Chains A and B, each alone.
Chain A
Amino acid sequence: MASSDVARQPDQGTRPLSLAGHVGFDSLPDQLVNKSITQGFCFNILCIGETGIGKSTLMDTLFNTNFENFESSHFEPQVKLRAQTYDLQESNVRLRLTVVNTVGFGDQMNKQESYQPVVDYIDKQFETYLQEELKIKRSLHNYHDSRVHACLYFISPSGHSLKSLDLVTMKKLDSKVNIIPVIAKADTISKSELHKFKIKIMSELVSNGVQIYQFPLDDETVAKVNTTMNGHLPFAVVGSTEEVCVGNKMVKARQYPWGVVQVENEQHCDFVKLREMLICVNMEDLREQTHTRHYELYRRCKLEEMGFKDTDPECKPVSLQQTYEAKRQEFLAELQKREDEMRQVFVQRVKEKEAELKEAERELQSRFEQLKRLHADEKATLEEKRRLLDEDLSSFSKRKTAAQLLQGQSLAVNGKKDKDRKK
């Protein structure tokens, strides 16, 4: 087998092969599961609802434990979020659960900005994850994931319809988190009212384009139960941590004069359905959706905002390297420009100042010239005076000489006369 086979490369496509025996890679899912169990799981729930609607009680009931709860007043000036993390364990499975509660939701007079703190919190968790993912040296495999995996939205049991606050809030959140609406305090609604209420709610959500979380139907093992449950949305729940004796068992329930509402009785409320769907069947799917859909959307928007693209203007694919390089070049160019600008400003100032000082010098020079001229003038005047004086002096001395001469002459003449006379 030689040259004729040289040209024949193995297929680039995948071809199926049959095995002649038990290889053993069917243990791969188990290996994966073992790893997950060793690592531990993590889940973050956000509860949105008005003060006193039963968020904390429901959490306690769902997780069969007593979380630290603070009763809040109705007078919070702004909506705040309070997050608490707990380590739970059931058989050999460890779960790090974070429960985030809204405080003061729906209490303000002006509720226009009520959704904002919630959106900000969710975005902040995405941002933290994104920053970690973008680091040069990162440790994603032991990163504590704080992104919100499920959002329980508590609807007031008015029996009529959704409030506009509900619609506005859910619309803002449906692209950021898996929303599971629940009807709180369901023990105040009768069965027939509840049925109408549920239909009304679902139709309002649809007509307002709110995308709530649908239990996934792609896996045959759970598709059937998920489809059924999807039809029961939103779940009407009752929470209680108190136990009442019913028959000969102690069950979680609420005792009224007219009867006992049993939390885990499917005839009384949908609590069991919620627990089943949220925790037993779809917890992993909620996490996956958060990561592959909501987080990716956030990431995509953020990167586009920062100017990253997958293709350059000529529609050729651009790798991360190139984008980073380009950004770096841009960045360095910008810094250089700023430096140059600053230098430019200085050069300008120096020029101006130099011109100023030169002007001053010139002025001084002209003053000097002026003084020189003045001085020269004065000197000339002086010279003139001197000359005059000299002239006067010389004319005077001439006069003197002339006079003396004359005098001498006249004296001589007079002397002669006198002499003559005397003779």
Chain B
Amino acid sequence: MIERPDTAVPSIAQRNLEGYVGFANLPNQVYRKSVKRGFEFTLMVVGESGLGKSTLINSLFLTDLYSKDYPGPSQRIKKTVQVEQSKVLIKEGGVQLTLTIVDTPGFGDAVDNSNCWQPVINYIDSKFEDFLNAESRVNRRSMPDNRVHCCLYFIAPSGHGLKPLDIEFMKRLHDKVNVIPLIAKADTLTPEECQLFKKQIMKEIQEHKIKIYEFPDTEDDEDNKLIRKIKEKMPLAVVGSNVVVEVNGKKVRGRQYPWGVAEEGIFVENGEHCDFTVLRNMLIRTHMQDLKDVTNNVHYENYRSKKLAAVTCNGVDTTKTKGQLTKSPLAQMEEERREHVMKMKKMEAEMEQVFEMKVKEKKQKLKDSEAELERRHEQMKRNLEAQYKELEEKRRVFEDEKANWEAQQRILEQQKLDASKTMEKNKKKGKIF
């Protein structure tokens, strides 16, 4: 039994510490444990062939993800859109990162590109499904997180605006993954063209209500200033290079042209060459964890609630779904069971009512029949009795008549007898005559 202070919500008091306790060390404990566990990250790159995706990946992670031994998908001719993943383990400063790069060769390369996003969506959903199943097992062991944490979408540097394929793809994926659009091969645009292009793209993104990844504000004002600066540069324009060239005595990664070297990632005082460093800083150095968190807390939860709602709301009235989502499917079933019990009770009561009514009707009919029967019987009886009486009367009259007549006859007989007797006497006395 638990005793809480009067309010239903536990009242939480502030307390000031008067000395050393030691939980300020908690962050270090967290740090230690996370380093021991290691990290995972899955990055997806999507874009037409030849936009420099593989080069960019190699540049971002300063490694040869795609090399002669492990050629990138761009080296292979694909007829349909494939989704391929490469897993690598990289270490830096004691921190281990298992990086999965998901590439989509063939995207946008066909003549008819309708539904070319479908394999991508299927891949993302299948990773969500794997995670959901692992999370829902009875026996849960370690759950590797293979969900796609970020999707870099490469926009061709046409300088005009987004293509219908770009818009369609981003619209379909913005609810499933963090989408970061990039302008590829930015060294074909002058800074002014680039500015215009970016503005146009952002305008179109807003028009179509596409939700690209938003860098969250932090509590630190300094960081917020930087973040706002970065937001102004969106979408980032990048140049990638696998080659190191020498510029002014410095070795840089860059692309050598007859007219100069487009450097990668170094801000030059009189203008920046491209936003590559910004991208790397944001993607890896500051917001990698946030990308994972948004994937886990928003995109995955969306997927999960849709999936589970589909299971429990089979054939159920969709107007009721709002309340159902706050329960687990089992609690949902419990509630449905209770509802059903009530429904049955009502049904039972109704049926009982109808039953009673019918019985009453029938009984009434029976009663009426009986009464009718009685009545007729009475009537007949009375009829009969009347007839009896009549008959009795008749008989009585007859008997009376008969009696009278017989009496008369007897008198007559007696008279006759007397008369004959007198005649006899007279005869005997003398036949005088």
Contacts and interface: CB of A to CB of B under 8 A. Distances in A.
A203 interface: no
B92 A20 contact: no
A321 interface: yes
Contact of B384 (A12, A349, A361, A382): A382
A23 B284 contact: yes
A281 B29 contact: yes
Given A91-B24, A219-B36, A136 B380 contact: no
Contacts of A20: 62-63
Interface residues of A, number: 137
B77 A2 contact: yes
Nearest to A96: B12
A30 interface: yes
Nearest to B334: A331
Nearest to A379: B384
B31 A33 contact: yes
Contacts of B309: 136
A421 B433 contact: yes
Contact of A1 (B19, B76, B133, B326): B76
Interface string B283-320: 01111111001001100010011011101101000000
A27 B280 CA distance: 13
Nearest to B309: A136
A110 interface: no
B402 interface: yes
Interface string A1-30: 110011011111111111111111111111
Contacts of A14: 87-89, 98
Interface string B88-114: 111111110110000000000000000
B268 interface: no
B380 A81 contact: no
A83 to B, nearest CB: 6
Interface in A354-384: 357, 360-361, 364, 367-368, 371, 375, 378-379, 382
Query: What does DSSP make chain B's interface, helix, strand, loop or mixed?
Result: helix
B345 to A, nearest CB: 10
B92 A95 contact: no
Interface stretch (B158-166, B203-211, B366-374): B366-374
Contacts of B133: 319-320
Interface in A299-336: 299-300, 303-304, 306, 308-310, 319-321, 324-325, 327-328, 331, 335
Interface hub of A13, A14, A67, A410 (most chain B Cβ within 10 A): A14
Interface residues of B, number: 129
A249 interface: no
Nearest to B101: A10
A41 B26 contact: yes
B95 A37 contact: no
Contact of A41 (B23, B70, B363, B388): B23
B71 A5 contact: yes
B341 to A, nearest CB: 8
A57 to B, nearest CB: 15
Contact of A17 (B31, B88, B337, B362): B88
Interface stretch (B2-10, B167-175, B179-187, B188-196): B2-10
Given A88-B15, A90-B21, A29 B88 contact: no
A279 B305 CA distance: 37
B381 to A, nearest CB: 8
Contacts of B401: 396
A83 B373 contact: no
Given A82-B3, A103-B3, A138-B301, A33 B23 contact: no
16 contacts: A6-B77, A10-B84, A11-B86, A17-B64, A19-B63, A24-B285, A25-B90, A28-B34, A33-B30, A68-B13, A83-B2, A88-B21, A134-B331, A319-B136, A325-B311, A339-B344
Task: Across the A-B interface, give the 10 residue pairs with the lowest CB-CB distance, nearest first.
Answer: A134-B328, A26-B93, A320-B136, A31-B289, A284-B29, A137-B325, A280-B22, A24-B285, A10-B86, A14-B87
Interface of B: 1-5, 10-27, 29-36, 39, 41, 60-65, 70-71, 75-77, 84-95, 97-98, 132-133, 136-140, 219, 280-281, 284-290, 293, 296-297, 301, 304-305, 307-309, 311-312, 314, 324-333, 336-337, 340, 344, 347-348, 351, 355, 359, 362-363, 366, 369-370, 373, 377, 380-381, 384, 387-388, 391, 394-395, 398, 401-402, 405, 409, 412, 416, 433
